[in-house]
Structure 1
Amino acid sequence: MARSTSRLGALNRMPVLITIAILWLVLMLAIAVSADLISPYRFTQMDLRNRLSLPVFMGGSWAHVLGTDELGRDVLSRLITSIRMSLLIAFGATIIGAVIGVTLGFVAAHFRGLVEQAVLALVDFSAAIPFLVLALAVLAFFGNSLVLFVCLLGFHAWERYARIARGLAISGKMHGYAAAVHQLGASPWRLYGRHILPNIASTLIVSMTLAFPEIILLESGLSFLGLGIQPPDTSLGNMVGFGREYLSSAPWIMLAPAFVITVTALCVSLLGDWLRDRLDPTLS
C-alpha cells in the first residue's frame, strides 16, 4: 500500500509536459509495433481515381482520414508505416553509436598511453568533420541500403559516448569498488561490464535520449534530399521530401509527417532533459 502511494505521489510530482511527452512516445511505439494491424490500407496501395483527396478536417471522406497523395495512396497508412521505419532507424543508429563510443571509451580508459591518445585523436577527427557532408559522400559513393543507412547514422555522435565513457571509467577506477574488484583478479570484461558500466549507465541513457531526436532529424533531412530510405519503402523524411512538391495544392501530404517529426523530437528532448535533471546528483 505504501509503495503504491509513493508511486502515485511520484506521478503527481511529474511535470505535465513530461507526462504528455511520455504518453506521446508510448503512442508512437505502439503505432510502430502494430503498424501492420492498424493500417487501413497497404502503404503502397494506389487508387488513381482518388488522387489528392482531401482529409476529413478539410471536408474529405472518412475512407481516407488524412487524405491521399499524388498516386492515390492513403496518407494515414503511409504515415503509420513511416513512423515504424523512422523509429527503427533511430533506435538502431542510437544503439550502434552508443556501443561503438562506449567500447572505445573503455579501451582508452583501460590501456591509457598511446592507445588513449589514438582514441582521442580519432574522437577529435570525427567531431571535426561535418556529419551531413560525410553522410552525403558515403551514400553517393556506395549507394544506399537500409543496413548501410542505419550503420552510417550510428556513427553520429559516437564521440560523445566515447568521451563520457572514458571520463567516467577513469573516475570509477579511482573509487574503492573498482580497485577492489581489480585486486581480486577480475578480468577487464567483468570489471567494465559488471561494475563500471552499471554505475555510469544513467549518464549514458540520458546521452542516448538527447542523441535520439538528432538522428530522427538527420534521417529526415537525408531522406528529404533523396539519399535516405528509397521507394517503395517510406519514412517520415521521405514523405516530407515527396510532399514538398504539392505544398500549395495538397499540403496535408507534407504537414502530417512534419508534425510527427517535430512533436516526437520535442518529446524525446524534453524527456532527456528531465532525466538528466533527475539522475544528475550535482543538480539535487
Structure 2
Amino acid sequence: MADGTRICVLPAAPHSAPADRDQIEDAVRAGGGTLSGVADADGMIWTDWSDPAALGATLREHPQVRWVQLVTSGVDAFGPLITDDRVWTSAKGAYAEPMAEWVLATLLAGFRGVPGYARDRRWEPQSTRSLFGARVTIVGGGGVTSALIRLLAPFGVTIDVVRRAPVNVPGVRRTVGPQLLEELAPQTDVLVLALALTPETVGLVDARLLERLPDDAWLVNVARGALVVTDDLTVALETGRLGGAVLDVTEPEPLPAGHRLWRLANCLITPHTSCPAELAAPLLLRRVRDNVARRVAGLQLDGVVDPRAGY
C-alpha cells in the first residue's frame, strides 16, 4: 500500500465541513482507504476550517501524517502550517460550478436592478443594463474562472483574465499578469474576484483601483472579503462612483447588522453561500473519494496546494 492509505478523519466533533463525518468516512472507504486512528494514520481529512491551531497541534503530535486533505477551497486560514514537508490538498476546483452559477445569477440580478426592486415598497422603475456584450475582467485563473467563462459564453461578453501565471486561457480575449489589472480597469464593466487570498492580494481592490473603473461598473466578489478594502468600496457605492457590487464574502465576516453596505440599493450581499452545504457536500465527498483512490494508486492528487504560492 502507498503512503496515505491509512486515513483518519478529524476532528471528531464539531466540524465545519459541508458533509458529516460518517459521509466522509464512507468516501474514504469508497476510495480504497483504510480508516484508522490518528496515531496510525499517514493521511488525514481535516474537517474544521475554523480551528487551524488544533490542526497544527495535531500534526506536531503526529508527524507521521504525510498527507492532509482540507475541506475548503481557500487555505489562507492555514497559511503557516502549509509547508513542503508533507502533501496538502484542498477543495479548490471542487466547488467551481455552483460558485460560477452564483456569480452569473447575482450579476444578472444586479444589472437588472433586482436589489433595488427588492427593497422598494412602491412601483418605481430602477436603472438597469444588459449583460450582453459587456466587458468582463476575472481576477484568478482557477476552476471558478473556467466554469464562469463557459456560463458567460451565450452573452457574447469580452473576457480578460488576470492571473499570477498569464498562460493562455481558452475562451478569453487575453490573459495578463497582475501588474496590468489597473490598465484593464477602465475597460471593465464587470470585475470578478475569483482568486486566492494571500499576503500579496490583501486589499487588492482599494480606492485607487475603484477610481479607475467606469462609474457604472460592477464588482463581484466570490473569493475572500479581505481582497477588498470595505470602507473604500462603501464610499464608492454611496457616492455613485461605482455602479454596484455583489458580495458573497465581506471583511469583516459576517458583516455587522448595522453596516452601511446593507442599506445600499446597489449592493447585493449573500452570507457566504455561493456554494451552500447542500450543493457542496457531494462535491467534497467526490474529492475525498477520488484523492484517496489516487493516493492508493500512487497518482497525482487533485487540488494540491503550493506552499510557496499559498493556494
The TM-score normalised by the length of structure 2 is: 0.29
Richer in strand (by share):
2
Richer in helix (by share):
1
